[in-house]
Amino acid sequence: MDRRELIQTGTAAAAGMTLLKPLTAFGYAANSAVRHGLLGCGNRGSSVAESFSKNTSAQVVAIADLFPDNLTAGRSRFDKINADLGRAPIDAKLLFHGPHAFEQLAASPDVDLIQISTPPFFHVQHLEVAVAAGKHVYCEKPVGIDVRQAKHALEIAKRVKPTQSVDVGFQCRNAPPLAAVAERIKTGATGAGALGKIALVSGFYYAPASTEKNRPGASHDEYRLRNWLWDRALSGDILVEQNIHIVDLTNWMLGAHPVKATATGGRTILTHFGDCWDNYQVDFTYPGDAHFSFASIQFDNYGLFDAGLKFFGADGSATVGYSGPVQITGKQAWVFEDSASSAPGSGKFAANGAFSDNLAFADRDKERSFIDSITSGNCHNQIAAGVETALSCMLGRMAGLQQREVSWEDLLAHGESYQLGFSMDQFA
C-alpha cells in the first residue's frame, strides 16, 4: 500500500469513526463524542490531544496541569480548536491545576478518557488513579522510570477492567511503512519471516538537545520540573525517555526483550543543569544470540536528526527509518512505495513528536485505533507491553551507569531506584 491509497483508506476510516456505533458496552450513543481530559499541557501533550481532536471522535472537554500558566495556554489553545471544529469551549469547572489536579480530573464524571502527558516520573502514579477511577487511559511512554515503578505498573494492569482501554504511546508501531515492514520481518509472505534467522540489528537515534524552559522567579524545584528532560529522576534519561521508540520497535519486530546488555556513554558535551547523559552506545543480546547495537546522542549537533534500524538476517536485510526508503533486500525483496523517493536522514526533528515522512500518520492511526477500541468495546490493555520496553531501556541504562554487563534477572532484582527529592505540595 502506498501513501495515496493510505490517505483514501484513512479518509474512509475517519468517516466511519465520526458516527459512533449506536450503543456499545460503554453506553456511547450514536454521534456522541468520547470526552477527553488532557493531563499535562506541555508541547507533546497538547500536540497529541490536538491530533485526537482533529482525527477522531474524541473532544477535549477538560485539561489539567501543575502550573497555572500552562493551564491558561492550554485552555486558549483548545478553546480555539474546539471552536474551529464547531464544539463548545472548555467549561471552567473542568480546568484543574496544582499537585492534585490529576486526582480532580480522574474524579470528574464529565471525562471518559484521560491522556497522561506529564513528566515520566509521574506516569505510573497518574495511571493508577485514572485506572481506579474507571477511565480509559492513553499514557505516554515510558511506563515507569525505574524497576520499582515498572513492577507497580504491572500490578495496576491486573486491575484494568474488561470495559477499560489503556494504551501506551508507542505510535511508531502504527506508522504504515513501519507496520508493513514489521509484518514481513515477523511472518513474511509465507509465514517464515522475510529475513530468516536474524543475527544483528543496528539502531540509532541522533537528536538535538532539548531547549531550556525558564520562568523568572522559579524555585529550584520548579526549574527541575519545567526542565524535566534534563533530569534523570523525572525523565528516566534519554535512553528511557526518547530512545525508547527504537528499542520498542526492535522488541516488537524480534518478538522478545533483551536478555542482557553492556553499554558505554556519558555526559560528554552538555554543561547545563541536569544529570542525563548526552550519548549512549548499547549492545543488547536477545534470545537466539541476536545482537542489537544501538547508539544515540542528544546535544547540539548543527541540525543533524536521524533515527532508525537495520536488520540483518540469513535471507536478507531490512531498512526501517523515520525517513528514507523502508525496504527489504534479499530473497523476499520489497519496498514501501511512497518511501522510496525520500532520502535517509532527510526528516526533521519534531520536539512535539509529530514527525513527518515515514511517521506522518503514526499518531493519527494510533489514536484512531485507541478510540475505536473504546467505542467498539474491543478494549486494549497495553501496560505490560509498555513495561517490557521500559525495562529493556532500563537494562541498557543500568549497564552504562554501572559499567558492567547486566542481565534481565539482575535488573529485576537490583535495578536503580529514583526519588523525586521534594514535596509537590509546595505547588498547591
Domain spans of the chain? 3-172, 175-348+383-414
Average pLDDT, the chain: 90
Q: Out of 106-110, 267-271, 355-359, pick the least confident.
A: 355-359
pLDDT at 1 over 50: no
Confidence of residue 19 (pLDDT cuts 50, 70, 90): very low
Cβ(246)–Cβ(320) below 8 Å: no
Length of the chain: 428
Cβ(119)–Cβ(99) below 8 Å: no
Tell me the mean pLDDT in the region 322-347.
81
pLDDT in tens, 214-251: 999 999 999 999 999 999 999 999 999 999 999 999 99
pLDDT at 30 over 70: no
Sheet hosting strand 95-97, strand order edge to edge: 95-97, 59-65, 35-39, 113-116, 136-139, 166-168
In sequence order, what DSSP letters do the residues of 221-244 get, joined into one string? HHHHHHTGGG-HHHH--HHHHTTH
pTM of the entire predicted model: 0.90
Tell me the mean pLDDT in the region 128-145.
98
Residue 5 CB partners (closer than 8 Å, separation 6+): none
In whole angstroms, give the CA distance from residue 306 to residue 364.
Answer: 22
**Per-residue pLDDT, 184:** 95
Confidence of residue 143 (pLDDT cuts 50, 70, 90): very high
Tell me the mean pLDDT in the region 170-180.
97
In whole angstroms, give the CA distance from residue 123 to residue 258.
Answer: 24
Confidence of residue 18 (pLDDT cuts 50, 70, 90): very low
Tell me the mean pLDDT in the region 50-74.
97
The rounded percent of the chain whose pLDDT value lies above 90 is 84
**Per-residue pLDDT, 337:** 85
pLDDT at 11 over 90: no
pLDDT at 189 over 60: no
**Per-residue pLDDT, 4:** 40
Q: Out of 183-192, 201-210, 405-414, pick the least confident.
A: 183-192
Residue labelled with grid coordinates 493551564: 71
**Per-residue pLDDT, 185:** 95
Residue labelled with grid coordinates 536521524: 306
Tell me the mean pLDDT in the region 274-292.
97
Tell me the mean pLDDT in the region 367-393.
97
Which grid coordinates are listed for 424?
Answer: 509537590
Question: In 3-state terms, what secondary structure has residue 121?
Answer: helix
The rounded percent of the chain whose pLDDT value lies above 70 is 87
Indicate the fold that domain 3-172 takes in CATH: Rossmann fold (3.40.50)
The 10 Å Cβ neighbour count of residue 253 is 24
Confidence of residue 354 (pLDDT cuts 50, 70, 90): low
In whole angstroms, give the CA distance from residue 376 to residue 99.
Answer: 34
In whole angstroms, give the CA distance from residue 416 to residue 265.
Answer: 17
Tell me the mean pLDDT in the region 308-319.
97
In whole angstroms, give the CA distance from residue 153 to residue 116.
Answer: 14
Indicate the fold that domain 175-348+383-414 takes in CATH: Dihydrodipicolinate Reductase; domain 2 (3.30.360)
